[in-house]
Amino acid sequence: MKRSLPVTIAATFLLALLGFGLLQAADPRLADYDSWFHIRYAWLLRHRGPWMAFDWMPHTFFAEGWVDHQWLYHLLLIPFTFVDDLRVGAKASAAVFSAGAVAAFAAVLHHRKVAWPVLWAAVLLAGSRFLMVRLMMPRTQALSLAFLLVGWWLATEHRHRALAVVGFFYGWTYHVAAMLVPTALATTLPAQATPLRRRSIVVGVAAAAVAVGLFCTPYMPRSAEYFWLHVVEKVANQRQLEVGAEWFPIQTRLWLLHMAPALAVGIATVAAALVRGTRAERDTLSAGILALGWGLLALWSQKWIEMAVPFGLLFTALLWRDVGIRPHWLLWAPLVAIWNGSQAVDHVRTTVPDHTRLAAIGAMLQADPGPVFHPDWTDFSELFHYAPDCTFTVGLDPTFLAAADPARYRLMNGVLKGQVTDISGASTAAWGAKWVVLTDPTLADIAARDPGLTLHHQDGAATLWRVHPPDTP
């Protein structure tokens, strides 16, 4: 029996929400460092208004003006801040937005007349453990995937007004919205029979809508500068900065391992199509072009696996439809999806520090706020979460300090690598620091020999040091 679209969406969303809810409840950690920042920032938006100044990194690119390139995402997070424990709210948001992305995948397949779209949603979650981990993170990637899938569907059907709306709000949500333009372009390449003018309109609408969403904000002209810095310069990384691991290339072996189930289903489906002599439809070819493009990008930066797997399975599902393969061959998918989920939770447990590692130190900083020096930029999000009345060295990305003040960045990096022994002098001269937070035991040993620092608190590997003013013995 053919189900209606609302039933498909509701069933997929509720099943995915149950699954992601169980995964989030399985471990108290947040699956990503930056998640601490996002939920606290949304809490601040609720209390201070939607267009607040950002004074927490006064020596970085943001000293001359803040740019919230995920503004709509942060607004959507606000309902999840009405809880006593914001960590729980962040986990709930990840479950809801990830379930929404999976439901969007099923909805697109339903529209393209693919049988059993709910089962294909299970194939999506079975396709890659890496994708499962990414969807568990309380960040924008789930919403981004939903926007991109819906944008692809609208482009294939030449629904220009709806595509413009999606592109605009996508631009307000995440700078990766720029990828909607090549996505729209891919829908035109297999359509030689369609007039060039009509195909050009699709790409033009996507490009214009995304540009308006990205740049027509209260943050202009800083948003254009930010886009160049965070997208172009960061991706090129000519400064060889230690950016997030997601932006680094991946070994071919790991690339294959991360996408093994999705690749296996895709290869088997292509083989069946070749054996039967099936000619792929235009939407199938379009999805195949995107799957190939995302897959190649994933070799250069593993982040793009989160797009390669969904669009690879979109291509596979559409080709499965074209070939006419019976859907009972997919009944293994829910079991593999459950296995992927358990593996994703184990990955979080083994790679993410305990969620309380900086809680006590953060509470002390919030009780006596002031400038905080922390040489490891990845500590910013947790410190910001627990001590929003303090200011910090740099966070979210080292590019923001390196671009604005290369000398300060080199000094911070020198401290991080143990090349600077006068931590108190460096932190006071460059940042006017009142506190120093170190999460590396080797740096704590150096700090212990610094007469300008006094150990205030130690919690495992994390230490909090009070900086003596220069005229204090």
- What are the extents of the domains in the chain? 5-351, 359-467
Which H or E run contains 436?
A: strand 435-438
Q: Report, as an integer, the average pLDDT of 298-316.
A: 89
Helix extents (H) in 191-304:
196-215, 222-227, 234-236, 252-258, 260-276, 282-300
Please report the pLDDT score of residue 259 as a whole number: 82
Q: How many whole angstroms separate alpha carbon 120 and alpha carbon 316?
A: 10
Q: How many whole angstroms separate alpha carbon 336 and alpha carbon 359?
A: 36
The model carries a pTM of 0.91
Contacts of 389 (CB under 8 A, 6+ apart): 366, 369
Contact assessment for residue 145 and residue 307, using Cβ atoms and an 8 Å cutoff? yes
Which H or E run contains 454?
A: strand 453-459
Hey, which residues does 430 pair with through a beta bridge? none
Of residues 126 and 299, more confidently modeled: 126
pLDDT band per the 50, 70, 90 thresholds, residue 1: very low
List pLDDT tens digits, range 104-156.
999 999 999 999 999 999 999 999 988 999 999 999 999 999 999 999 999 99
Map residue 443 onto helix, strand or coil: helix
Q: Report, as an integer, the average pLDDT of 201-224.
A: 88
Which residue in the block uniquely carries the two structure tokens 């990194």? 57
The tokens for 429 are 């001269």
The tokens for 67 are 């740019």
Instruction: Among 57-61, 122-126, 179-183, 384-388, name the one with the lowest average pLDDT.
Output: 57-61
Q: How many whole angstroms separate alpha carbon 119 and alpha carbon 441?
A: 49
Please report the pLDDT score of residue 399 as a whole number: 84
Q: How many whole angstroms separate alpha carbon 200 and alpha carbon 196?
A: 6
Residue type, 368: D
244 pLDDT above the threshold of 80:
no
The tokens for 139 are 């960040």
List pLDDT tens digits, range 391-443.
999 888 888 888 889 899 999 999 999 999 999 999 999 999 999 999 999 99
Residue 128: CA count within 13 A, CB half-sphere: 29
Using the Cα atoms of residue 251, residue 254, residue 259 and residue 261 in order, give the sign of their dihedral: positive
How does DSSP classify residue 217? S
List pLDDT tens digits, range 36-66.
999 999 999 999 988 888 889 999 988 888 8
Contact assessment for residue 393 and residue 416, using Cβ atoms and an 8 Å cutoff? no
pLDDT band per the 50, 70, 90 thresholds, residue 212: very high
